[in-house]
Amino acid sequence: MTGNSVGSVVSLWRYPVKSMQGEELNASAVGEQGLVGDRTYALIDVATGMTVSAKNPRKWGKMFDCRATLAEIADSTTVKITLPDGTLVAGEAAVNQTLSHLFDREVKLETLAPAKPSLEEYWPTVEGLPHQDAVTEEATLANTFFDGATVHLLTTATLDQLQAIAPGSRFETRRFRPNIVVRPESDGFVEDKWIGQTLAIGEQVRLSVTGPCPRCVMTTMAQAELPNDVSVLRTAVKHNQGNVGIYASVIQSGTICRGDAVRVE
């Protein structure tokens, strides 16, 4: 193996339905679109044609109360959604009907993204953000349900750094919805130094680190016992320009596993 060792993979995550809670994996195939099964589905607001996203929690906050997993059924993969009350729904017709009732708006589960997808994003009142207490329309990656990149990577060092700065908040992995969590060999916002470089993960996968991951209101939202906490976003804005983690694209496909070595090439 070539390159300098910088850490190891401690957890892997995919989110089969955009903005819903996802599932932790021990291993995953990685293709051109990132971890296989990640953001494969999204809800579309039938009235507007826009992608449903918890980035506008005033309208779609209940997305965070739902959990999506993928299951192999009759030689095909299907999505299963667990509702806030624990009810499990599967199948396009059942999902559309049930979630339209949950949101009191007609929504449709889709696997085919629009050529020019967009979503609504609420900006809380946090000094340093481009908008204050406003909802904007934001374009996302063409023909996908990804916002800024197909892979999002985060280190435990960044979470520890933020936790040390604001000990009254809870900087947990699930607030930031990464695909790959790395335990690095150094401290601080270490992954920021990997921008513009190639990361090798395990024996096969190669990622091009394309930029920092700017954070939004979703990091502040309540999840299960995690409280709503705008100081999570405020801390990131004040101490790391609003970035937590990095974005990457896939250079070489393969399989990654928890425990794999991570190297900078």
pLDDT tens track for 19-55: 999 999 999 999 999 999 999 999 999 999 999 999 9
pLDDT of residue 72: 72
What is the pLDDT confidence band of residue 198, given thresholds at 50, 70 and 90?
very high
What is the pLDDT confidence band of residue 1, given thresholds at 50, 70 and 90?
low
What is the pLDDT confidence band of residue 210, given thresholds at 50, 70 and 90?
very high
Among 72-81, 113-122, 229-238, 242-251, which stretch is predicted with the lowest mean pLDDT?
72-81
Span 170-190, average pLDDT:
97
Q: Give the chain's mean pLDDT.
A: 96
Domain membership of residue 69 as a residue range: 4-264
More confident residue, 214 or 72: 214
CATH code at position 16? 2.40.33.20
Q: Are 6 and 246 in contact (CB under 8 A)?
A: no
Tens digit of each residue's pLDDT (9 = 90 or more) over 94-103: 999 999 999 9
pLDDT of residue 3: 79
CA distance 129 to 209: 24
Span 117-136, average pLDDT:
96
pLDDT of residue 75: 62
pLDDT over 90 at 73, yes or no: no
Span 119-137, average pLDDT:
96
- The structural domain count of the chain equals 1
Tens digit of each residue's pLDDT (9 = 90 or more) over 222-258: 998 999 999 999 999 999 999 999 999 999 999 999 9
What is the pLDDT confidence band of residue 91, given thresholds at 50, 70 and 90?
confident
